[in-house]
Every structure is written in structure tokens, then in C-alpha cells.
Amino acid sequence: MRHSRRQALGLGLGGLVAAALPFPASAALEDAIAVFAGGAAVGAGGITIDAPEIAENGNAVPVSVSAPGAVAIMLLGAGNPEPVIARVAFGPGAGGQSFATRVRLARTQDVVALARLADGSVIEARAAVKVTIGGCGG
């Protein structure tokens, strides 16, 4: 009986921590999107994101984004402790507005890509990725 009470407490604490974690991350996500958009409304279309539906290893998930006409792209993991993954600015020497990299995903979540076009408008695409083993360690 003593053991079960201790275990129950431990489980309860763990559950509280797990429940508390996503909230600061999602606020940070909205802040990062607002800063990137700079007051422009976020639209859809004209941007494609390519990510696996299921990632066995969250430490290296291949993600590619393509947004013709974009001057900058931002990549975010909606459920990561630090949601912003990378910000890419395309210079005059860029041949096309696409970018591919490998990212860490802490858990199953949406990967969000935003692109800012030359006229200042901002577009968004999302891809849901199921993560089997999270990529944040600890």
C-alpha cells in the first residue's frame, strides 16, 4: 500500500508537468508567427511543405519547404520547447525559393512553414508529423 501511494503521487506530478509544458510553447509559437508576419494577415496557398507523416526518430526529420516568390521562409515546430526552427532569407543569387533541412521534433506535432512574399503578404502551410521517439533528450 505504501508503494502504491508513492507511485500514485509520482504519476500525478508527472502528469501535471506534461500538461503544463505545451502552453508556453504555443504562446511562443504565436508570438514568433506575429513577428514574422509583421502585422500582415496569414493566408494559405502558394507554399508547400514536405515532411514525413511518421518520423521514427525525432532527432532528424527531413523537412522541405517550397514557396515560389518568397523573400523569406520561417520553419516552426508547434510542439517544440523552442518553436522556431530556422529563418531563411533568400538573396538575389537564389535560383528558387525552396529549402530543405533536417529538424528535431520533441513529440508528435504540426510542422509549420511561413513564407513572406515580395509584396509583404504572408502565407502558411502545415504538416502533421507523428514522432515515435522524441528528439529533445533529457
Partner 1 sequence: MAADAKPRVKVPKTAAAGEVVVIKTLITHKMESGQRKDEAGAVIPRSIINRFTCDFNGVNVVDVEILPSVSSNPYFEFEARVDAAGEFRFTWYDDDGSVYEDVKAITIA
- Binding interface with partner 1 (CB under 8 A): 59-61, 64, 77, 80-96, 98-105, 135-138
Our CB check for partner 1 shows the closer of 87 and 130 to be 87
Type and span of the H or E element at 50:
strand 48-50
The least CB distance from residue 84 to partner 1, in Å, is 5
Best CA proximity match to 131, nearest among 51, 45, 38: 51
The least CB distance from residue 40 to partner 1, in Å, is 20
Sequence-separated (6 or more) residues with CB below 8 Å from residue 5: none
The count of other CB atoms within 10 Å of the CB of residue 88 is: 19
The least CB distance from residue 54 to partner 1, in Å, is 17
Our CB check for partner 1 shows the closer of 80 and 123 to be 80
Our CB check for partner 1 shows the closer of 8 and 13 to be 13
Our CB check for partner 1 shows the closer of 8 and 35 to be 35
3-state SS assignment for residue 13: helix
Pairing of strands 122-133, 42-44: parallel
The least CB distance from residue 4 to partner 1, in Å, is 26
Compute the distance between CA of residue 132 and CA of residue 60 in angstroms, rounded to an integer.
12
Our CB check for partner 1 shows the closer of 38 and 91 to be 91
Q: Which residues on neighbouring strands pair with residue 124, listed in sequence order? A: 44, 114
The least CB distance from residue 41 to partner 1, in Å, is 24
